[in-house]
Amino acid sequence: MGGFEGELGLRPLEGFHAFTLRGEGLGFGDIGPLMEQAIELLLDAGLDYSDFAGPPSLYYEAIPPHADDPHGFTLQVWVPLTPERAAASRITVREVKPVELAATIRIRGPHSLIPQGYAQLLAFIEGEHYRVAGMPRELYWEYREDGQHLTEICFPVMDGAPVPVNPTEGN
């Protein structure tokens, strides 16, 4: 049985160039096939795994407004490419901007632990007085046949301290 690996933490996220495949109206069961499709497209275009510059990632553009809507996700699969391959390839590559500060958690275990990771990470963000400043990313560092995958969830954050109110302002 897996669990959480490492500590919850804060770190910057580097920018990179990535092949992007977008999906709309997706449910959790559609995420794996979309990731596989992105990698297959790259391999079919003549790239190989040595051209990848980091782990495949998911970026959530939209999350269903209602928890009972299992098919309302809009997301992008990002596959980072080495700068040389990104410049030389015939596929469309986009620049993913860096994130100055992100709250992160790494999860070792089956993907079914990811919702628990989100809950723990959001509690950490609130407890440390940060605010979520963007949509989450999931980085898939390792995929293992035994199900002990290594996934990192990242939320861009900003200082969440309350803005001091000056009671004399405007007088």
pLDDT in tens, 76-91: 999 999 888 887 777 8
**In the numeric block, which tokens belong to residue 149?**
């995958």
Condensed to tens digits (0 to 9), the pLDDT of residues 69-127 reads: 666 778 899 999 988 888 777 788 889 999 999 999 999 999 889 989 999 999 999 99
Distance CA 160, CA 133 (A): 10
Q: What is the DSSP letter of 1?
A: -
pLDDT greater than 60 at residue 1: no
**163 compared with 147, residue with greater pLDDT:** 147
Question: Are the C-beta atoms of 116 and 108 separated by less than 8 Å?
Answer: no
**In the numeric block, which tokens belong to residue 87?**
């410049």
Q: What is the pLDDT of residue 74?
A: 84
Distance CA 28, CA 70 (A): 7
User: Is the pTM higher than 0.85?
Assistant: no
Least Cα distance to 48 among 85, 87, 16 occurs for: 85
Distance CA 123, CA 162 (A): 18
Condensed to tens digits (0 to 9), the pLDDT of residues 140-159 reads: 999 899 999 999 999 999 98
Distance CA 13, CA 26 (A): 26
SS3 21: strand
Within 13 Å, how many C-alpha atoms sit on residue 58's CB side? 24
What domains, with CATH codes, occur in the chain?
Answer: 3-159 (3.20.80.10)
Burial label, 19 (beta-carbon count in 10 A; 0-12, 13-18, 19+): buried
